[in-house]
Amino acid sequence: MIALAELSIADAPSYKLTAWPAIDWAAVPRVVRRLQVRIVKAARANEWHKVRSLQRLLTNSFSARALAVRRVTENQGKKTPGVDGEVWDTPTRKAQAVERLKKHRFVAQPLRRTYIPKANGKLRPLGIPTPCS
């Protein structure tokens, strides 16, 4: 099992990732949901400074990154490579993806904007992934 270093004030656990299957998947969505609820409450109370700090806490939390990687790698298109040509298909690659997101090294490739005509004569914007160089 992954050792929980300690729980911070925001209940975002700080994990030392050892293996993808060892993640406590019952706790991860609860942590993410709890932070999301706190963000909504702060927004309803017009506490925008608190909203921004909680959003930063959520995006930097291990739980949010792990849940994002899990959602991407366990859906119907899990075998389809992204615009960067990578497929996170093994537990090792999934764990590396979580760490890569932590280090802010992941940069999405740009999209080419194309407009498709709609039935009413207007144009609908469409983002097409550009090939990797």
88-118: pLDDT as tens digits: 888 988 888 888 887 766 677 788 899 999 9
Distance CA 23, CA 94 (A): 12
> What confidence score (pLDDT) does residue 105 get?
65
Neighbours of 70 (CB within 10 A): 19
Residue spans of the chain under pLDDT 70: 1-18, 83, 104-106, 131-133
Confidence at residue 133, expressed as pLDDT on a 0 to 100 scale: 52
Query: What pLDDT is stored for residue 53 in this prediction?
Result: 95
The per-residue pLDDT for 127 is 87
Task: Give the pLDDT score at 120.
Answer: 95
- Per-residue pLDDT, 7: 38
Q: Structural domain boundaries of the chain?
A: 4-129
Task: Please tell me the pTM assigned to this model.
Answer: 0.65
Residue 2's pLDDT is 39
The residues with which 126 forms a beta bridge, in sequence order, are: 114
Tokens matching residue 66: 């792990």
- Sequence-distant (6+) residues with CB within 8 A of 18 are 2
Q: What end-to-end distance do the CA atoms of the chain give, in Å?
A: 40
